[in-house]
Amino acid sequence: MYPLDWLEERSGLVGGVRYFLFRKVPGDTNWFHTLGSATLTAFLVQLITGVILAFYYKPDPNSAHASIDHITHDVTLGWLVRGMHKWGASVFIILMFMHMARVFLFGAYKYPRELNWIIGVLLLATGLFEGLTGYLLPFDQTAYWATVVAININGTAPFVGPFLASLLRGGAEIGPDTLARFYSLHMLLIPGALIGLITLHLYLVVRLGVTSPPWSDEAAGEGPPPSPPPARAGLVRPRPRAAVRGRPTE
């Protein structure tokens, strides 16, 4: 594999990926441990479908809805890509909550993983904000009024509320500036923040290792049961004398 050897010699990247993929995890990890990777997969689907949608979407109040219509009805498989992005957003958020519930119920937020829990909370807030900014983009009645409600709720926050509302609106009214602002946040700033946070999150997962389920011996600090010594051909495995049936104990 010459190209891989070339890359490995100059960067060590191949060894890094190999370490990531083949690192040791506790023997009793189960399906619940796949929820983090499922969330990651949902996020990657959002990234890919989002880039394709951005080829056709026009962030301007006069053409935004028409461009969404064009994607849905004219562009080849546009309906599929748009549907995947729209429903995928809910899948991503539901999976994030399920993954968080698993981490909470398994006590995986405890020492030494508190920092990863904090990064997770930031991921949750940023992920929800991504959903909020995406909701305005079709610029139909639902999008418009949902955003009015969201901005008004932000406006009621103590002290910073009015500033926050005007920052999100980009002026006194929801209009072209709001749409441009939400689009920029939705496709640049928030995904960038999510990618950075996910990178940190996974770095800590690899560094600290994955926790066992609470019912496992490993979680109780007893370690895995010792594996039996390898059997040798032609010999009976030695046992304590008392355990040999039919022999009197000493």
Q: With binding defined as CB under 6 A, does residue 193 bind ligand HEM?
A: no
Q: Which of residues 20-49 bind ligand HEM (CB under 6 A)?
A: 33, 35-37, 39-40, 43
Does 190 interact with ligand HEM (rule: CB under 6 A)?
no
Give every CB contact of residue 147 below 8 A, 6+ residues apart in sequence.
132, 135, 136, 174, 178, 182
Shortest CA distance to 153 belongs to which of 132, 124, 171?
A: 132
The smaller minimum CB distance to ligand HEM, of residues 49 and 116, is found at 116
Toward ligand HEM, which CB reaches closer, 88 or 138? 88
Task: Specify the residue, 20 or 79, whose C-beta has the smaller distance to ligand HEM.
Answer: 20
Q: Which residue is nearest to ligand HEM (CB)?
A: 120
Task: Kindly state whether residue 146 participates in binding ligand HEM, applying the rule CB under 6 A.
Answer: no
| Gap between the terminal Cα atoms of the chain | 64
The one-letter amino acid at 112: P
**CA-to-CA distance for 122 and 100, rounded, in angstroms?**
12
Q: Is the CB of 153 or the CB of 206 nearer to ligand HEM?
A: 206
Measured distance CA(134)–CA(190) in Å, rounded: 11
Q: How far is the CB of 21 from ligand HEM (least distance, A)?
A: 13
For ligand HEM, what does the binding mask look like between residues 208 and 237, x meaning CB under 6 A?
--xx--------------------------
Binding of ligand HEM by 89 (CB under 6 A) = no
Do residues 220 and 26 lie in contact, with contact meaning Cβ atoms separated by under 8 Å? no
Q: What are phi and psi of 5, to 5 degrees?
A: -60, -40
Among 59, 78, 127, 134, contact with ligand HEM (rule: CB under 6 A): 127
Q: Which residues contact 199 (CB under 8 A, 6 or more apart)?
A: none
Cβ density class 220-234: b for 16+ within 10 Å, e for less: eeeeeeeeeeeeeee
Kindly tell me which of 42 and 71 has the beta carbon lying closer to ligand HEM. 42
Q: Confirm or reject binding of residue 50 to ligand HEM (CB under 6 A).
A: no
By the rule CB under 6 A, 121 interacts with ligand HEM:
yes
Question: At its nearest, how many Å lie between ligand HEM and the CB of residue 217?
Answer: 16
Which of 45, 91, 93, 124 binds ligand HEM (CB under 6 A)? It is 124
Q: What is the length of the chain?
A: 250
In the bound state with ligand HEM, the residue whose beta carbon lies nearer, of 157 and 206, is 206
DSSP H helical ranges for the chain: 2-11, 13-22, 35-56, 64-73, 78-105, 114-135, 141-155, 161-169, 176-184, 190-208
Residues forming the site for ligand HEM (CB under 6 A): 33, 35-37, 39-40, 43, 96, 99-100, 103, 108-109, 113, 116-117, 120-121, 123-124, 127, 198, 201, 205, 210-211
